[in-house]
Structure 1
């Protein structure tokens, strides 16, 4: 069968459509329609996800991005569960998960290559870890974004329905909203900020040679950032960290077109 290769202007039209859809759905989510996370996830899958048989829109158009992460440092030895893209709000109606989309100018944020960002651990309920990729593909492929599965994988069922993160308020009540949907909103915000960084433009990049960074791997893809110069931990914790395969990274100070500086973790 003869296949027609799409022209650049066609791909650009699809790109513009998906970005406009994403912005509209983000606004709907922020106005209270949290189920819009399903459509947000579908947009992000189209824009970002690649397989052996399909290419992402980012890849087809050839857009070069560094990916902004709002995730804090993750410690696999922490006895408590981790949710690095969320915050909590305690109000008169109980406790709620919120997306971490209000950034403190005094906090530290990093940018990554796509693979490190997409596969970074953002949830750890002490039984399973979940990455951005895991969350987006689950919502898009199984939870109503583009398809509804009749059954849920146990790990996602526990995370989304059974409070496997173990968060409760003073009355021992769990949050009523879905942490997975809030994480989807956070991931969308990170991606939109990554686009803004690209619009500003990249200038010089200087390596911070006095700082060591690395990626630690749970398996072939799931990973977390680590630094022996930025994180001070006990020997016992390092024994746990050292169980995970390591790949070296370098920390750069990336200057943007407007003079703003961001920290970029790359190879």
Structure 2
């Protein structure tokens, strides 16, 4: 982060702290059952890392984004050639006396740390797919773009061609019970459920938020040199912490 005016850099660090707090608050609300908070997580991540021809992300302005390493929950797996692939989410069939319900959950931080691999930003953001289906590949950028632009309020355009195509390409599952065992079937149904696809994207977004938080939390020496000398508050400094604090 050389070459930046220290006063300006200090102001950017204040904005970074605000965005991380936004990430933590929305993650806590998502974990408490408000799945729509995934849309706000997407907006926050976009502010932090997404560059356009008209604007620069916060971490780009800080001169840090390309120097950072980003944890890939898939362990560096390249699934671009797969016919069907879904990651960053866990599908579980919950069995009750009279019914079965499908639960779509983000990955726990412990699982991310156990199998994660550090990647450069470009690979983590756009090259490595997190879902493959219907001949389409969906990256972290696509997940953030769909939720932030379509559901987050920035550009609500439900007829956007690419958005609709990607939404229909989200691999879906359905619970089954054969009298002895229960589980989930995986694929692209003939009549895809838009609601199920959105919940899958939202769970993936929660995992992406955890990855982004880990990238920040474990590279503070790069992002904010001198942080060790300042009093720490909140008790959430360290790779073993969850960003929500609720688990």
Q: Return the TM-score normalized by structure 2.
A: 0.69
State the 1:143 CA deviation.
2.0
- Larger RCO, structures 1/2 (Cα 8 Å, 6+ apart): 2
How does 1:213-232 map onto structure 2 within 5 Å? none
Q: C-alpha deviations, 1:144-176, integer Å up to 9, x for none?
A: 2423114243223314xxxx5141111689794
State the 1:53 CA deviation.
2.2
Q: C-alpha deviations, 1:160-204, integer Å up to 9, x for none?
A: xxxx51411116897946111111101000011111221377xxx
Structure 2: how far apart are the matches of 1:199 and 1:13?
A: 13
Matched, 1:132 2:140: yes
State the 1:52 CA deviation.
2.2
Secondary structure at the aligned position of 1:34 is classed as: coil
Contact 1:39 1:145 in 2 (8 A): no
Matched, 1:165 2:166: no
State the 1:62 CA deviation.
2.1
| Closer, same or farther: CA 123–44 of 1 in aligned 2, 3 Å | same
How does 1:1-267 map onto structure 2 within 5 Å? 7-63=8-64, 64-72=67-75, 73-79=77-83, 81-92=84-95, 93-104=100-111, 107-119=114-126, 120-152=128-160, 153-159=163-169, 164-170=170-176, 176=196, 178-199=199-220
| Closer, same or farther: CA 200–62 of 1 in aligned 2, 3 Å | closer
Contact 2:140 2:208 in 1 (8 A): yes
Residue number in structure 1 paired with 2:190: none
Structure 1: how far apart are the matches of 2:114 and 2:9?
A: 39
Structure 2 spans left out of the alignment, 5+ residues: 178-183, 186-192, 223-237, 239-247
Contact 1:74 1:82 in 2 (8 A): no
Secondary structure at the aligned position of 2:30 is classed as: helix
| Closer, same or farther: CA 37–106 of 1 in aligned 2, 3 Å | closer
Give the 4+ runs in structure 1 shifted more than 6 A: 172-175
Secondary structure at the aligned position of 1:43 is classed as: helix
| Closer, same or farther: CA 145–114 of 1 in aligned 2, 3 Å | farther
> Quick check: which one's helix share is greater?
2
Q: C-alpha deviations, 1:209-233, integer Å up to 9, x for none?
A: xxxxxxxxxxxxxxxxxxxxxxxxx
Secondary structure at the aligned position of 1:154 is classed as: helix
> Quick check: which one's strand share is greater?
1
Secondary structure at the aligned position of 2:176 is classed as: coil
